[in-house]
Structure 1
Amino acid sequence: MEVVILYLKRLRNLRIGHNLPQREIAEGLHIDQRVYSNYETGNVKSPQATL
């Protein structure tokens, strides 16, 4: 479980560190912003191939 939490924090910190909103990341991944938000918060397990 700790690894998942670290992964989610790292994902968010990388996005924020590059001053990117979730919307821009989602557009680059060709997914909806709400889907990306769910990945980042851990509400939905993110597919490794997408990220």
Structure 2
Amino acid sequence: YVQLECPPYEIPFKDFNIEEEFHEDWDKHDIWRYKGVNKEETIRAYSMANYP
């Protein structure tokens, strides 16, 4: 199996390094205003032998 651990975080989308060719779409939909947030540590274990 594989175990994934994700610590708490808060990341503004405006801090992402987005290729210039996609800026028009990001501007059009104002994606820059969003942020990714995970308020508590998350741990998940997945079996590599079984289809999820």
> Which TM-score bucket, shorter chain as reference?
under 0.3
Q: Which has the higher contact order (CA 8 A, sep 6+)?
A: 2
Instruction: Name the one with the larger strand percent.
Output: 2
Rg larger for: 2
Instruction: Name the one with the larger helix percent.
Output: 1
Q: Structure 1-normalised TM-score?
A: 0.25
